[in-house]
Amino acid sequence: MSFLATARKYRPQSFEELVGQEHVVRALRNAITTGRVGHAYLFSGTRGVGKTTVARIFAKALNCEKGPTPTPCQECASCKEITAGNAIDVKEIDGASNRGIDAIRSLRETITYPPARDRFKIYIIDEVHMLTQEAFNALLKTLEEPPPYVKFIFATTEPQKVPETIMSRVQRFDFTRLSVGQIVEQLQQITRDQSVEATDEALRLIALQAEGSMRDAESLMDQVISFAGASFTEQQVGEVLRVADRSYYINLFGALLHENAATAMRVFNKAKGHGISPRSFVKGFATFLSQALSLLLLPDEPDSGVAFSDVQKRSILAKGAGRTAQVLLLLDIFVEAADKAVSSSYPDLVVLAAVARASLLGSLADIDTIIHKLQGLESRPVMSLSDRSQPEPVTGNTSTTGNSSPPTGRPHQAQATTRPAPDKGLRLQQHNVVSHIVSTLDAQVIRVETEGD
């Protein structure tokens, strides 16, 4: 008994079955209905968002015996052959393995012949950005003025690598990542069809790991079912995929908000003990914080809490009530840590330092306040010794003749002596800080001299 992967078994065969990409579907359906189908299209977007699937559906819509129609019949020879991938007039070409100028020359030769049976001869070139510059140049004239029976559909994950001369000759559609809610809804339908029991939290964790790719989500679920069988939970998903389930992040979230460093460290150590990599952990927690911040700022928006179950929403709202600014600081800390962990040779130390720093936000704020006050002292005027040695200004009449005579000394210097004295407490803090810095530098100098001897 052969097994067919879920991503292939549940691949959409019509525009109605497609998940997401409403803007693309609407434009293509209208083009077919109004008879304004272009000769070349470019579908761009990340992996697993439906580029090749839409290209096949579009090809069926154009070559269906009852078409062109936005609703292909799925029963004629053309529709069945395109679904099976062996249509004689629909050619799927892998741009990565047919990237040279010879492949494009061969394509140009076949274009001169009309379709063998169908209405159009359609060329679907996947990963078109992999073509060489010479291959693109050889394609330019054909792409600009192809025969009326030829249609090109290009798909790419890196549109910035496609030359501008090609881009100006095609209609471009950008495919977006699927939302967590869209992926979860599709996975729920699949589990019902396959009689698989899965909690919503488990499917939500799979959707989060898929990062907007439906194909990735379906492949990950196949992996989880192979591990756990026909029933699985969020903890089992985390175990097989080696990712932290939401319970880790919610516990760490609460510990950091209450500045409980011991609990925060225990959560991180427990995650490491279960085989979760520090890079995966910190990336997942940064994503969690961004979603939690969105929930705290927009609690009534249905899309802001789609990544959480109802129980998780209530827990996050309770823990983060009145602490939105603190959550923003945590997000800043862990986004920076996630970036550093990617290139660091010691990602566990990077994450550990981030957890410790986030646990001490209150103390760090106190230090920042002290430094701010000390910096303020630098801008306050300080009298010199020469100013202090000047005599006090004379305010009375010193002449016996009744005429006022100017006081001795320099008036502008005497005026400086009337400024209020600096705060003694802040002076003491500044002195202590400076003394500590000097002591540290002296110790470094002594150590260097000792090593030199």
CATH architecture label of 180-241 = Orthogonal Bundle (1.10)
Whole-angstrom Cα distance, residue 310 to residue 352? 30
Task: Show Cβ contacts of residue 151 under 8 Å, excluding neighbours closer than 6 positions.
Answer: 37, 39, 40, 41, 59, 62, 120, 121, 122, 123
**Splitting the chain (453 residues) into consecutive groups of 10 residues, what average pLDDT does each group show?**
85 93 95 94 94 95 92 93 92 90 90 92 94 92 91 95 94 94 93 93 92 94 92 90 88 92 92 89 93 89 77 89 90 94 92 91 59 62 51 48 47 47 53 54 47 49
Closest CA to 234 of 280, 199, 184: 199
Which CATH number fits the domain 246-359, given the four candidates 3.40.50.2300, 3.60.10.10, 3.90.650.10, 1.20.272.10? 1.20.272.10
Predicted local distance difference test score (pLDDT) of residue 447: 47
Whole-angstrom Cα distance, residue 115 to residue 127? 24
Domain 11-174 superfamily per CATH: P-loop containing nucleotide triphosphate hydrolases (3.40.50.300)
| Cα–Cα distance list, 164 to 24, 102, 105, 133, 137 (Å) | 22, 22, 21, 12, 11
Whole-angstrom Cα distance, residue 304 to residue 297? 9
Tokens of 91: 């050619």
40 contacts 49 by C-beta, under 8 angstroms: no
How many other C-beta atoms lie within 10 A of the C-beta of residue 56? 21
Whole-angstrom Cα distance, residue 306 to residue 292? 11
Whole-angstrom Cα distance, residue 62 to residue 28? 11
Closest CA to 148 of 122, 109, 167, 117: 122
Whole-angstrom Cα distance, residue 221 to residue 241? 10
Predicted local distance difference test score (pLDDT) of residue 390: 52
Whole-angstrom Cα distance, residue 206 to residue 221? 7
Give the end-to-end CA distance of the chain in Å, rounded to a whole number.
Answer: 78
